Structure formats: structure tokens, C-alpha cells
Amino acid sequence: MSDEKISNNKAIDAALHLNGNPQNVKQFYDDWAKHYNLDTSSSEYSGPAIGAKLLSEYLPAKDSRLLDAGCGTGLVGIELHNLGYRHVDGFDLSDAMAEKAVASGAYRQVIGGIDMMRAAENYADANYAAILSIGVFTLGHVAPEALIVLLQLASPGGLLLVSTRTHYYDQTNFQLVIDELIESGQLELLKVIRDAPYNNDGDGHYWVMRKAG
């Protein structure tokens, strides 16, 4: 990736210049965990609130079993908790981020040190009504193929709700991965909100998908 400046916040800009290597990404977030909430709040990060609200429109039952994939410090879980959801699990690559999520009290269970690309190994019997992943399909973090892994963790007919930073969508094969999942009958696209608020550096897209029943 180029060294072009993407964000005006130093840490957020550095996050967008990660190289997708799980060890580097983990180290970066372990170091950032302490200041993450303050930095993202200063950047008017709205992904968690938008993602949680969107989920509640498609899955209003508050006892639904949800998985927050790449939960970070728990911002998505807190939004879901405020909406009344009480059965939210989460995982993250970074142990330090996951510890913050545990401390938020919004989750039933949080596991740190899990690479999304290998998450199916840790959730062998997963049968979640919905998987959310907000702020993770972003440059230098996970490849679009991680969608295929997340799909395995959802129940038949379960939902997948993810955000993509606009520049991630523009620079990766995300659309191709979705198209292939739809064409092969594994996924249905229920809604995409394009160019919606994300943070004060740019927009994002929000995708609501349903796993084949």
C-alpha cells in the first residue's frame, strides 16, 4: 500500500497502513487498546451505533445469539447492550482489546487471540443468529475472504452484518467475494447502505446479508 495519508488522526492513519499480517495487526492493537476509545470517539466513529441499529431492524428479538467478530474494545457490544441485547459473544485478534471488551460488561463471553481467518476452529459448533463485524473489513486488516469464514459461524438463515470502509471496498475484491457467494446460493444480500457516515475522515458501506437457510 502507498504511504498516502488516509486519516488525520495519527493512530487511525497508522491502522489503515497495516499490512494484514496478523502478528503485526495484533501488536498494533495491543499497543493502541488503551487509547482506542478516546481516539475513535474524537474521530466521530459512528460504525458501532449504525451497525447495531441496523441489526435491530432485521433481528429485533433481544434474546438472539449474536457474535461480534473483531469486537475490539467492545463498542459494538455496548451499542447492542443499550438496545437490549443480552446474548452477545465476541472475539478479537488482540488480547488487550478483548480485555477492554470484557470490562465493558456488554458481552456474555469474549475470546482474545483469535484470527478471524481461523475462527471456525474456535467456534466449531457455532450457530449464531447474527454475526456482526464492524470496523474490521478495512485496509490492512482482513481480506474479503474472511466473509466466507464468518458465514460458517452463522445458523442457516442467520444474518451477517459488516461495514466496509469506502477505500477498502474500492481497493479490494470485496464485491467479487459477495457476488460469488450469492451466485453459489450461499448468501442473499438484504441491504447495502453506501457512502454512509463512518468517521470524520470518510464514509463507509454497511452490508446486511442472510446465509442460505
Instruction: List residues near ligand SAM by CB under 6 A.
Output: 22, 25, 29, 47-48, 70-72, 75-76, 92-94, 97, 114-117, 134-136, 141-142
Own/partner pairs, 180-186, CB within 8 angstroms, 24+ separation: 181/147, 181/148, 181/151, 181/209, 185/212, 186/151, 186/211, 186/212
3-state secondary structure of 55: helix
Measure the CA–CA gap between 165 and 127, rounded to whole angstroms: 27
Range list of H helices, 64-142:
75-82, 95-104, 119-122
CB of 59 to ligand SAM, least distance (A): 18
Nearer to ligand SAM by Cβ, of 188 and 203: the residue is 203
Nearer to ligand SAM by Cβ, of 188 and 197: the residue is 197
What letter does residue 92 receive in the DSSP assignment? E
CB of 203 to ligand SAM, least distance (A): 15
Nearer to ligand SAM by Cβ, of 25 and 130: the residue is 25
**Nearest-CB residue for ligand SAM:** 72
CB of 119 to ligand SAM, least distance (A): 7
